[in-house]
Amino acid sequence: MMTDPIADMFTLIRNAVMVKDPSVSMPRSRIKEGILEVLKREGFIEDFEAVEKMGRKEILVHLRYQRGQLPVIEGLKRVSKPGRRVYVDSTRLPSVRGGLGVAILTTSRGIMTDAEAREAGIGGEVICNVW
């Protein structure tokens, strides 16, 4: 049986946003931390921290809300999946919601946004779209 920990992370975030939880906890991995670093840099989450609960390493993500408890993350969609990887070169980098959203890619230079990859002139695997 194959699982997708990144899709599980997105589901945890989407569910927490729907019920307006201030934070959500999930199992820790380096790729998740890289994705969360991009989300923090782009202003979609407040912060995240590595914690240890009962001997297990986890990540505690502090979600961000606008005035009146409106979530900053309106949508979070997994693009590249274990059964269907999506790769793009530097000339075909996606634009999410006409530039209002962000595509997160994993490249040879690390995890970055579509704008950063465009500026660097590199492509990679499209992990997700966030708006």
Q: Which residues pair with 88 in a beta bridge?
A: 124
Residue 69: its pLDDT value, please? Answer: 83
Q: Where are the domains of the chain?
A: 5-130
- Out of 3.40.50.720, 3.40.50.300, 3.40.50.150, 3.30.1490.10, which CATH number does the structure's domain 5-130 have? 3.30.1490.10
Residues whose CB is less than 8 angstroms from the CB of residue 21 and which lie 6 or more positions away in sequence, other chains included: 63
What would the 3-class secondary structure string for the chain be? CCCCHHHHHHHHHHHHHHCCCCEEEEECCHHHHHHHHHHHHCCCEEEEEEEEECCEEEEEEEECEEHHHEECCCCEEECCECCECCEECHHHCCCCHHHCCEEEEEECCEEEEHHHHHHHCCCEEEEEEEC
pTM recorded for the entire structure: 0.91
pLDDT in tens, 12-36: 999 999 999 999 999 999 999 999 9
Between 95 and 31, name the one with better pLDDT. Answer: 31
For range 82-107, the mean pLDDT = 93
